[in-house]
Amino acid sequence: MVASFLFAIMLYSLPLPQLLEAGRPEWIALVLVYWAVALPDRVGVGVAWSTGLLMDVLLGSLLGKNALAMALLVFLAHRLYQRLRMFPALQQAFIIFILIGLDLLLLHWIDRLTGPAPRTMHFLIPAATSAFLWPAVYFVLHTVRLRFRAAG
């Protein structure tokens, strides 16, 4: 589980061309949601808060901004995890779009409160790319979880 978080942080930190930067998937949020749904007793709001603080430090953003967003994301994932497990991949991707969209909306709102931020909806593009990649992320992490026999 820790290795998947480190890999997600690495993917999130990789430089992308300017054209692709606006659609950068929310790798850390995807991994966090997967583990919160797969192992809700092990990955909770505390893990999300810690991961968000690590993101704040790595990105040099307002301390607590990503922590709050990730904690809300995992809280909502915990509220939906039993239903999310039962949905087919397309419905799961739609729920992931909504969850990550809310995460990004909260981050955008905080940015607007603390300074000038663009007044466009382009900040939701990563939610769409993350939802598109959700089936692949789910498959890979589920395979890893079964391979290493993580309880859940």
pLDDT exceeds 90 at position 118: no
Lowest pLDDT segment from 47-51, 60-64, 116-120, 144-148: 116-120
Percent of the chain exceeding pLDDT 70 equals 98
Query: In this predicted model, what pLDDT tens digit does every residue of 40-62 receive, in sequence order?
Result: 999 999 999 999 999 999 999 99
Query: Which pTM does this prediction carry?
Result: 0.92
Long-range contacts of 63-72 (CB under 8 A, 24+ apart): 65/107, 65/110, 65/111, 66/107, 68/106, 68/110, 69/103, 69/104, 69/106, 69/107, 69/110, 70/28, 70/29, 70/32, 70/103, 71/45, 72/102, 72/103, 72/106
pLDDT confidence of residue 68: 97
